[in-house]
Chain A
Amino acid sequence: MYVSDAAQPAPEAAAQPTGQWRVLSGVRRAPRRVIPRAWWAVVLSLLVAALVLYVHTVSQEFRLSKMKDDLRHMKEQLTELRSEKAKVENPRNIDDLARKHLAMQAPADVVFIAPPKLNKLAPANRIPMAPAVIHEGF
């Protein structure tokens, strides 16, 4: 039997009642909107992450450079201080300070006062004495 096309209902239309069509169409469109939003969120979060990473890297670089600079300054100061320390530790300076401020004498410069009896001995038999060193004020 021959049936015209117009008389026959569309298979989808027959399978899907008009009342449910709008609901279903809404369900179908929903994934189309969700995917781009997620995509943007990913891109955005990547951008934010990149930005954070960049800022962090720059700040760390800045910090590193500052630390290097501090290290250099400290090294300079250390060498200066070592040099100062070495100057202060100069045995000659210590010797001079001990004589000047503490009235100390080198053992060879210590003055012995010989008893009168010993002084009467012939010069060759006296205990040899180092020349007396008397500083002003002592």
Chain B
Amino acid sequence: MQQFKKTKLFKVFLITGIFGLLVFLNPKSFFNPVRRGFLFITYPLQKTGYSFSASFVGLRDFLDSIGQLKTENEKLLAQNQQLISENARLHDIEKENVILRDQIGLLPRERFQFEAAGVIGQDPSGLGNWIEINKGSNAGIKEGMAVVVSKGILIGKIQEVNLNSSQVILLTNSKSTVNVMTSQNGAKGVIKGRYGLGIIFDMIMQTDSVNIGDEVITSGISGVVPRGLFVGTVQEVHPSEDHLFQQAVVSTPAQISKLQFVFVIKQNL
């Protein structure tokens, strides 16, 4: 026995046993102070590493896109013209909406206070579970706050807050759930992540109508994530495994893996 205790295999078994138990018990909050300390010290290095990577990616994307610039430009011009006309129409509707709200005594729609943040790290497993941003408790960031890009496309929620950085759990994470609805028919449900395989719009009542191309927005039911944030468009609709609900595959316009800046919704104004 004494001889065995000196062997490599014994050391391997011992370490694996102790840390295997830790994996199983998963005492999340126990190591948080240590994590915060390390993240605080290495914050400048992480920030530099990410911006260094972003410069490389920018150069690579530029070289890749040279051949496609002409066709992409034509496509964007057409899209731009379409958006200009739609924008003008929406401005008119907005004015009309303000007048009508005023007449029936409704409060104005929600407007948010944004906190701009840079991305300094990503989930290295490739699952696209989370990103890390360079704003933390010293910038007033709190757990559960919604994180958006382009000031309106929801990408996730704040999960863990450190002093000068925060972990954002993305919509593609299986632990992330957000109450949503379709803007066309108001069909309600929740969106869940599928381990880097996309986003699922789940728990849609069989009686509700959901079609391919419908826009999915947050419903604001839980109160944590504000109403009206764009999540994505419906790509596919099918019944759930137990046939009690409908499910839809949602595609988000945000390119999560190439994110460099995001906005945290701190509060409704």
Q: Do A and B bind each other?
A: no
